[in-house]
Amino acid sequence: MYTQEITVNNEVGLHARPATYFIQKANEFKSGIWVEKEERRVNAKSLLGVLSLGIAQGTTITLIADGSDQEEAVKALAELIENNFGE
């Protein structure tokens, strides 16, 4: 299992279009991937799950992956967040 904490800094947080980019990236990996905010953990490959966390600008989340490409998956998703989802 590989984890990393990261703060979402883009204006709209992890909603609508940024969430779609996030889920598309998560689905490129074989590992199970989760997003955790406070005490809630959801599947990072589920749009409704990610949106249900209500991740706003400035929120710190934990990315968690478990599987053959776990480290690569977490690093790629963290990079996407750091680059404000390409916006």
Q: How many CB atoms lie within 10 A of CB 50?
A: 25
Active-site position among 4, 10, 12, 15: 15
- Note if 15 is an active site residue: yes
> 8-31: buried (b, 16+ CB within 10 Å) or exposed (e) per residue?
bebebbbbeebbebbbebbeebeb
Active site residues: 15
